[in-house]
Amino acid sequence: MPTKPWWPLPCAELTDGALTLLPWPRVASLPGVREDVWAASTDPRAVEFTTIPSPYTEAMLDAYLAEPGPDCVRWALVVGGRYAGSIELRRETDAASFGYNTAPWARGRGLMTRAVRAVAAHAFAHGAPRLVIRALPGNAASRHVAEANGFTYAGERGDNVEYVKTAR
Ligand SMILES: CC(C)(COP(=O)(O)OP(=O)(O)OC[C@H]1O[C@@H](n2cnc3c(N)ncnc32)[C@H](O)[C@@H]1OP(=O)(O)O)[C@@H](O)C(=O)NCCC(=O)NCCS
């Protein structure tokens, strides 16, 4: 019997108490979003631990604020009406991998742990078979986010370590 395709995942608004995950097509509606995304993209931890280019440019900011394309679904974390970070799933073969970045002002409050929980539940509810988090080995905060969400350590993958969670 044919199964319903799980991708593209719907980019619905997700809420978790005080944290809202706003569909990326609406990110431009947030006040001060250009400044907040700029700060999140040029912050030293983001430069060290992600593939965000450095130096960063206005053109890169414009491209990032646009629609992410068919193989990626992205949300903005919003707290108190302010941009607090981004979270996305990128389609892979029989899986989707996370990318995330909390705005510097919003880090260390448990926001990305909660955001991954909400997006993972959404993805599994729509039939995603397997979700993956990859991080540089020294990225303790990101590894903590994976472990706190019940992802299982799956070993080294190139320069990264990989964590996996499968649908039950
Ligand atoms: C990784 C990142 C997204 C985490 O976002 P966050 O919203 O601050 O995460 P949370 O607050 O939900 O959780 C971070 C956890 O890691 C812990 N942590 C933070 N820095 C740590 C460190 N250096 N060593 C160990 N644990 C650390 C925090 O104490 C927290 O644990 P707790 O919930 O038990 O208190 C954020 O640090 C970030 O944006 N980093 C730069 C971009 C990046 O690395 N993206 C991921 C690429 S794989």
Ligand 1 binding pocket includes 149 (Cβ within 6 Å): no
* Per-residue pLDDT, 2: 57
CA 122 / ligand 1 centre spacing (Å): 22
Q: How far is CA 65 from the centre of its chain?
A: 14
Query: From the CB of 102, is ligand 1 less than 6 Å away?
Result: yes
Q: How many domains does the chain have?
A: 1
Query: Within a domain: residue 19?
Result: yes
- Reading the chain (168 residues) residue by residue, the pLDDT tens digits are 556 799 999 999 999 888 999 999 999 999 999 999 999 999 999 999 999 999 999 999 999 999 999 999 999 999 999 999 999 999 999 999 999 999 999 999 999 999 999 999 999 999 999 999 999 999 999 999 999 999 999 999 999 999 999 998
Task: Please check whether residue 113 lies inside any domain of the structure.
Answer: yes
Domain assignment present for residue 78? The answer is yes
* Residue 44 CB–ligand 1 contact under 6 Å: no
Residue 1 lies in a domain: no
Residue 2 belongs to some domain of the structure? no
What pLDDT does 4 receive?
75
Give Cβ neighbours of residue 29 (< 8 Å, ≥ 6 apart): none
Long-range contacts of 52-61 (CB under 8 A, 24+ apart): 52/101, 61/34, 61/37
Decide: 135 in ligand 1 pocket, CB within 6 A.
yes
Q: How far is the CA of 76 from the centre of ligand 1 (A)?
A: 17
Is 113's C-beta closer than 6 angstroms to any atom of ligand 1? yes
**Which atom belonging to ligand 1 lies closest to the Cα atom of 160?**
48
Residue 91 lies in a domain: yes
Whole-angstrom CA distances from 42 to 24, 31, 130 are 20, 19, 31
User: Does residue 36 form part of some domain?
Assistant: yes
User: Which single residue is written with the structure tokens 């039950």?
Assistant: 168
- Domain of residue 97, CATH code: 3.40.630.30
Domain of residue 106, residue span: 14-166
Atom 14 (ligand 1): residue with closest C-alpha?
141
| In-domain check, residue 68 | yes
